[in-house]
């Protein structure tokens, strides 16, 4: 555990704050005035919102990166900064990780707001919408030209973007497709860092899983101490990597084995299974199912039980259970990055990823 903290110390706050994302893959910008606004409330960054209740010592970390909370390099960097801040804050003893269902961005100055299937104008503070016109836009397939209404706004307007019913869609596939080996290595290091920080956290951690949680989303969930999932037939969870033609790394596998045992992990990984909430409960992939609107409150009630245990006893026990698994990655980090880069940049793997991306998009069409 100490190793993990030492290792993470290289993420200096000032350095990483300057790296914070100002541009997402989906082209939604958080311009610098927005960030300085959020700095006043230093628990919010563009893709993640953290509320620490000083009276209970419990922080709620809400992922708010539309459309599906995919784990991009920017997202992972923010996640690690937030975790590190909480870890160093002695008043914070417990962490609940969940997803927001609505995401608000503040745009300032001259700004263009388009209405698409995932974006709607929510509130507009006057003076706004001084010009109305139409905009021709090439769709994400690059094939169709569509015409969208557009408002060109001056001054400030608030836009609300709806997140899918997703906890996290896992690693951002666009970070693994068509990228340089250097960039892939940087990305993989951030994935490792996220897991090391979470799995090795001194805080009691609960995943409040209020949406689907495939692959990297599942890794994040099983990196916590306890999992509460919404009992919704539309949601699924699991390490489905083989379905994408890729292989879950040894530390994903180890975390799953530590959670559900060897046999269930073997079936789950080889078949790339995504489990419904009741099936996930059956194999112990999640610990509890509750109605969707009770996920967070149940996590808060459960957290109070975890925090009733003296911190030092719980932390030493957690370290005893997880240290070997953590040390295995710590002593193989560079080799793991090299493996990832050489695997993911193979032509055959890139083809699998392309087909998977096409499938995701065609499913929607």
Ligand X SMILES: CC/C=C\C/C=C\CCCC/C=C/C(=O)SCCNC(=O)CCNC(=O)[C@H](O)C(C)(C)COP(=O)(O)OP(=O)(O)OC[C@H]1O[C@@H](n2cnc3c(N)ncnc32)[C@H](O)[C@@H]1OP(=O)(O)O
171 labelled catalytic: yes
Question: Contact between 212 and ligand X (CB under 6 A)?
Answer: yes
Among 137, 281, 343, 352, binds ligand X (CB under 6 A): 343
Shortest Å distance, C-beta 25 to ligand X: 7
Interface positions, 103-142, toward ligand X (CB under 6 A): 140
Segments in 170-285 forming alpha helices (H):
181-199, 216-222, 250-260, 262-271, 277-283
Among candidate residues 76, 163, 171, 274, the one labeled active-site is 171
216 labelled catalytic: yes
Q: 3-state class of 35 per DSSP? A: helix
Q: Are 330 and 5 in contact (CB under 8 A)?
A: no
**For residue 64, what is the enclosing H or E element?**
none
Q: 3-state class of 76 per DSSP? A: helix
- Candidates 59, 55, 92, 43; CA nearest to 300 is 59
Shortest Å distance, C-beta 59 to ligand X: 24
Q: Are 231 and 277 in contact (CB under 8 A)?
A: yes
Taking CB under 6 A as the binding criterion, the range among 47-55, 77-85, 147-155, 335-343 that sits at the site for ligand X is 335-343
Shortest Å distance, C-beta 16 to ligand X: 22
- Candidates 224, 217, 271; CA nearest to 71 is 217
Site size toward ligand X, by CB under 6 A: 30
For ligand X, the nearest residue by Cβ is 170
Taking CB under 6 A as the binding criterion, the range among 16-24, 164-172, 279-287, 320-328 that sits at the site for ligand X is 164-172
241 labelled catalytic: yes
Among 20, 37, 121, 247, binds ligand X (CB under 6 A): 247
- 3-state SS record for 267-294: HHHHHCCCEEHHHHHHHCCCCEEECHHH
Residue 325 vs residues 7, 94, 252, 254, 330: alpha-carbon distances, Å: 16, 22, 10, 7, 9
Nearer to ligand X, 81 or 237 (CB): 237
The C-alpha atoms of residue 172 and residue 239 are separated, in whole angstroms, by 14
In the structure encoding, which two tokens stand for residue 216, read together? 């990297």
Shortest Å distance, C-beta 19 to ligand X: 21
Among 242, 339, 345, 350, binds ligand X (CB under 6 A): 339
Question: Contact between 170 and ligand X (CB under 6 A)?
Answer: yes
Q: Are 158 and 121 in contact (CB under 8 A)?
A: no
240 labelled catalytic: yes
Among 263, 282, 351, 361, binds ligand X (CB under 6 A): 361
Among candidate residues 202, 210, 240, 296, the one labeled active-site is 240
Question: Contact between 174 and ligand X (CB under 6 A)?
Answer: yes
Nearer to ligand X, 81 or 349 (CB): 349
Residues 6+ apart with CB under 8 A from 181: 341, 345
Among 21, 82, 240, 255, binds ligand X (CB under 6 A): 240
Q: 3-state class of 95 per DSSP? A: strand
Residue 199, burial from CB neighbour count under 10 angstroms (0-12, 13-18, 19+)? buried
Question: Contact between 215 and ligand X (CB under 6 A)?
Answer: yes
Instruction: Give the interface with ligand X as residue ranges (CB under 6 A).
Output: 67-68, 70, 140, 164, 166, 169-174, 212, 214-216, 240-241, 244, 246-249, 339-340, 343-344, 360-361, 364
As annotated, the active-site residues are 171, 216, 240-241
């Amino acid at each position: 555990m100490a190793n993990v903290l030492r290792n993470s110390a290289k993420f200096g706050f000032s350095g990483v704050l300057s790296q914070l994302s100002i541009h997402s893959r989906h082209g939604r910008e958080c311009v610098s005035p927005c960030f300085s606004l959020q700095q006043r409330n230093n628990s919010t960054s563009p893709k993640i919102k953290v509320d620490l209740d000083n009276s209970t010592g419990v922080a709620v970390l809400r992922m708010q990166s539309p459309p599906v909370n995919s784990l991009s390099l920017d997202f992972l960097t923010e996640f690690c900064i937030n975790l590190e801040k909480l870890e160093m804050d002695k008043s914070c003893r417990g962490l609940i990780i969940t997803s927001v269902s609505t995401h608000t961005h503040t745009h300032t100055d001259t700004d263009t707001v388009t209405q698409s299937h995932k974006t709607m104008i929510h509130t507009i503070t006057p003076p706004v919408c001084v010009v109305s016109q139409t905009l021709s836009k090439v769709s994400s397939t690059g094939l169709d030209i569509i015409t969208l209404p557009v408002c060109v706004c001056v001054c400030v307007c608030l836009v609300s973007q709806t997140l899918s019913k997703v906890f996290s869609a896992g690693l951002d596939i666009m970070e693994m497709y068509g990228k340089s080996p250097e960039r892939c290595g940087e990305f993989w290091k951030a994935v490792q860092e996220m897991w090391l920080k979470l799995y090795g956290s001194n805080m009691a951690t609960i995943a409040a899983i209020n949406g689907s949680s495939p692959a990297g989303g599942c890794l994040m969930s099983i990196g916590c101490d306890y999992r509460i999932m919404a009992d919704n037939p539309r949601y699924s969870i699991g390490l489905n990597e083989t379905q994408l033609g890729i292989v879950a790394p040894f530390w994903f596998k180890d975390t799953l084995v530590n959670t559900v045992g060897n046999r269930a992990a073997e079936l789950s990984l080889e078949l790339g299974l995504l489990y419904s909430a009741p099936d996930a409960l059956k194999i112990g992939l999640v610990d509890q199912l509750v109605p969707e609107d009770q996920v967070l409150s149940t996590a808060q009630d459960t957290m109070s039980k975890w925090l009733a245990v003296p911190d030092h006893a719980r932390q030493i026990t957690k370290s005893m259970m997880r240290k070997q698994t953590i040390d295995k990655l710590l002593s193989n980090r560079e080799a793991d990055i090299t493996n990832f880069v050489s695997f993911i940049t193979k032509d055959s793997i890139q083809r699998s990823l392309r087909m998977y991306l096409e499938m995701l998009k065609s499913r929607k069409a």
